[in-house]
Amino acid sequence: MRKEIENISYTKETAAIAKYAKVLGHPTRVAILNHLEKQTCCCNGDLVDIFPLSQSTISKHLKELKNVGLIQGELDPPKIKYCINQENWQIAKSLFINFFD
Q: What is the pLDDT of residue 8?
A: 77
Amino acid 7: pLDDT: 67
Q: Give the N- to C-terminal CA distance of the chain in Å, as an integer.
A: 31
Beta-bridge mates of residue 7:
none
User: Does residue 78 have a cis bond before it (omega within 30 degrees)?
Assistant: yes
- Domains of the chain, start order: 11-100 (1.10.10.10)
pLDDT at 32: 96
**For each successive 10 residues of the chain (101 residues), what is the average pLDDT?**
62 94 97 93 89 93 96 89 96 95 89
pLDDT at position 5 is: 58
